[in-house]
């Protein structure tokens, strides 16, 4: 009787394998939960002697749209430029998918999977839409097929043979975003994509950004258009005089007139 109650060797092995698999599953889940796609901490940036960003910290999860809001001159664009290495932060950490990017050159940061769409768009005016896109993808380690950009921005497909200078402001902005996407980025930083565009064009572009977000593209958005921002973003950070002043979901911000008034003047 006593002997029959003892577990067999095979039963021990099965139990051990089961425990091992369970611990692996648990470990993978907790690691995934702990590490965001982008983790920024203690970021300090200067222009010459002027201290512009003070200990900025933020996180962005994969597939998330996160917005940076704040008054003019608050430091939003400088934050994007500091992430992208256009401005070299004096201290702090920028981890993309666990890789440290702070202090690296922009081209290395681009190769690591981050793309900044500048406010001034930076497209080649003398080249066609298609040429602009193909050139953008040339040196990328991975790239989107053109068909995927056409799918995201059907308007660009219609204008594929038009020169950059012949496009409307909204089309140029689509092309600038399309150029970033050609490099198959893990994260796209959009600096004021709706700036200077007519409301009807903003609606078109918003639709395209929504499609992009729904397709799982991770985005950090800096934008003055609060209504558009709160429609697109799931979470929001407010920067005030170079300091992080507020963090929350878009819904929480909408329901918080005090914060809206204090930091955004609305
Ligand atoms: N190249 C530069 N040299 C010196 N100071 C700069 C430079 N660019 C921006 N600044 C200053 O840094 C501060 C933050 O500017 P930044 O452009 O980051 O603000 P922002 O929140 O993006 O505002 P905006 O919406 O007006 O662009 C401002 O005081 C601005 O005058």
In a domain, 254, yes or no: yes
Q: Which residues contact 22 (CB under 8 A, 6 or more apart)?
A: none
Q: Give a yes or no: residue 218 inside a domain.
A: yes
Q: How far apart are CA 55 and CA 242, in angstroms?
A: 9
Q: Does residue 198 fall inside a structural domain?
A: yes
Task: Give distance in angstroms: CA of 14 to centre of ligand 1.
Answer: 62
Q: Note the pLDDT of residue 244.
A: 97
* Residue 163 counted as domain residue: yes
Phi, psi for 93 (deg, rounded to 5):
-125, 135
Q: Please indicate, yes or no, if residue 13 is contained in any of the structural domains.
A: no
Alpha-carbon distance values, 47 to 86, 119, 238 (Å): 12, 19, 21
**ipTM of predicted assembly, 2 dp:** 0.97
Q: State the CATH number of the domain containing residue 237.
A: 3.40.50.300
- Please report whether residue 23 resides in a domain: no
- The residue behind tokens 């010459």 is 48
Kindly report the backbone phi and psi dihedral angles of residue 118, in degrees, each rounded to the nearest multiple of 5, phi listed first: -70, 155
CA pair distance 67, 205, nearest whole angstrom: 16
- The verdict on residue 20 lying in a domain is no
Question: Which of 183, 141, 131 is CA-nearest to residue 162?
Answer: 131
- In this prediction, residue 8 carries a pLDDT of 52
**Phi and psi torsions of 246, nearest 5°:** -160, 145
Domain that holds residue 143: 34-264
Please tell me the distance between residue 205's alpha carbon and the centre of ligand 1 in angstroms: 25
Stretch (H or E) spanning 132: helix 129-137
Domain count along the chain:
1
Output the tens digit of pLDDT for each of the chain's 266 residues: 444 455 554 553 444 444 434 433 333 333 455 689 999 999 999 999 999 999 999 999 999 999 999 999 999 999 999 999 999 999 999 999 999 999 999 999 999 999 999 987 889 999 999 999 999 999 888 999 999 999 999 999 999 999 999 999 889 999 999 999 999 999 999 999 998 888 888 888 888 888 999 999 999 999 988 988 999 999 999 999 999 999 999 999 999 999 999 999 98
Atom of ligand 1 nearest to the CA of 224: 25
Would you say residue 26 lies in a domain? no
Which stretches does DSSP call E strand in the chain? 38-47, 50-60, 65-69, 91-96, 99-100, 114-117, 187-191, 218-222, 235-240, 243-249
Atom 29 (ligand 1) nearest CA:
73
- List all residues whose CB is within 6 A of at least one atom of ligand 1: 47, 50, 52, 70, 72-78
């Amino acid at each position: 009787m006593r002997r029959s109650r003892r577990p067999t060797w095979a039963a021990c092995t099965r139990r051990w394998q089961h425990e091992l698999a369970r611990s692996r599953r648990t470990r993978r889940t907790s690691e995934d939960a702990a590490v965001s796609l982008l983790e920024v901490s203690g970021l300090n940036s200067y222009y010459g002697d002027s201290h512009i960003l003070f200990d900025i910290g933020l996180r962005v999860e994969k597939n998330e749209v996160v917005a940076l809001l704040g008054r003019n001159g608050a430091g939003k664009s400088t934050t994007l430029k500091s992430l992208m290495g256009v401005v070299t932060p004096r201290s702090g950490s920028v981890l993309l998918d666990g890789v440290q990017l702070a202090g690296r050159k922009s081209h290395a940061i681009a190769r690591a999977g981050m793309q900044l769409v500048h406010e001034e768009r930076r497209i080649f005016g003398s080249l066609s839409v298609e040429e602009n896109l193909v050139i953008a993808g040339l040196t990328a380690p991975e790239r989107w097929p053109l068909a995927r950009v056409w799918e995201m921005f059907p308007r660009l497909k219609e204008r594929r043979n038009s020169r950059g200078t012949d496009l409307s402001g909204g089309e140029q902005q689509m092309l600038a975003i399309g150029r970033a996407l050609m490099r198959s980025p893990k994260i796209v930083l959009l600096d004021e994509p709706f700036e200077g565009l007519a409301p009807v064009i903003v609606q078109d572009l918003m639709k395209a950004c929504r499609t992009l977000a729904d397709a799982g593209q991770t985005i950090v958005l800096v934008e003055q258009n609060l209504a558009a921002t709160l429609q697109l973003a799931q979470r929001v950070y407010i920067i005030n005089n170079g300091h992080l002043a507020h963090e929350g979901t878009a819904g929480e911000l909408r329901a918080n007139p005090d914060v809206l008034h204090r930091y955004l003047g609305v």
